[in-house]
Structure 1
Amino acid sequence: MTTQLEALPHHHMLTLPTIPAAVRVARETAEQTLVEWGIGLRHSTVDPALLILSELVANSVRHAAVLSPKITVFYAAGPDCFVFAVHDRHPYQPPLYGAVAGTGSGGLGTVMELVLGLGGTAVVRADPDGKGKSIWITLPL
């Protein structure tokens, strides 16, 4: 599934301090944003998407806070997909698809099982300066 972010009609961005409360705020913001965009919270993709988002934000809080005092969460949606990304300024790029094979951490393994089970995609994109990254998730609606 390939989606051009610019072509999606709905966008939202949230910047938070890299602290544990960021997980709750990112999740609540996603819920509110989805409702505003007309995507019901009972949609079958929403609960797994919120779990994936929570895990990615928690990973940034847990592993990137020392180099990244802030994280940014991007949300976007169109009629057939929900896209979100978590960005931090830590250079480590986790091997997402290796997590499925059991070589990654348990949290990323769960993320990838959910993404693939929903028919979605996940990609890590490095910042141009190599000192940060975003993990992008695209899920069908």
Structure 2
Amino acid sequence: MPYRHVLDLPAMGAAVRIARETTELVLVECGVGLRHPSVGPALLMLAELVTNAVRHAAVLSPIITVTYAHGPGAFAFAVHDRHPYQPPLFGALAGAPGSGLAMVVAMTMEIGGTAVVRADADGRGKAIWITLPL
């Protein structure tokens, strides 16, 4: 995807609001109206992933990175932290159906998107990438 934007945030509660507001700005900059049907779910999923990183990874990852990508017909974002745990995204649907991560996976699938965990090369961090159709 040709358009990229990277946001580094301290792993603290305010990161969720800043990431959400930045996502809205990035979407508008990419020409995606905030009333597009994928925007609401994207903002909710992003907020959940950033919240998880703040809650569970902050002790090993004082900085969280949100990466945005946009191209023809698709918008993607990733939430990266330096905690080694890699959650089983699709296992969350079966093992923890009420969890926030299960909600992220279910919403992604409902709107025809993809979700994947990509480990850092050194195995000491990961990014959860969500790609949504536009």
Q: Give the shorter-chain TM-score range.
A: over 0.9
Measured in 1, the distance between the counterparts of 2:114 and 2:40 equals 17
Partner of 1:3: none
The answer on whether the counterparts of 1:96 and 1:104 sit within 8 Å (CA) in structure 2 is: no
2:104 paired with 1:107? no
Measured in 1, the distance between the counterparts of 2:124 and 2:2 equals 30
How many pairs align? 134
Structure 2: runs of 5 or more not aligned: none
Aligned with 1:10 (options 3, 13, 16) = 3
Structure 1: runs of 5 or more not aligned: 1-7
- TM-score w.r.t. structure 2 length? 0.97
Provide the aligned C-alpha RMSD in A. Answer: 1.0
Q: How does 1:16-95 map to 2 (within 5 A)?
A: 16-95=9-88
CA displacement 1:31-79 (0-9 Å, x = unmatched): 0111011100000000000000000000000000000000100001112
Measured in 2, the distance between the counterparts of 1:14 and 1:35 equals 16
Q: Percent identity?
A: 66
Matching residue's letter, 1:93: Q
- TM-score w.r.t. structure 1 length? 0.92
> Structure 1 runs of 4+ off > 2 angstroms?
102-105
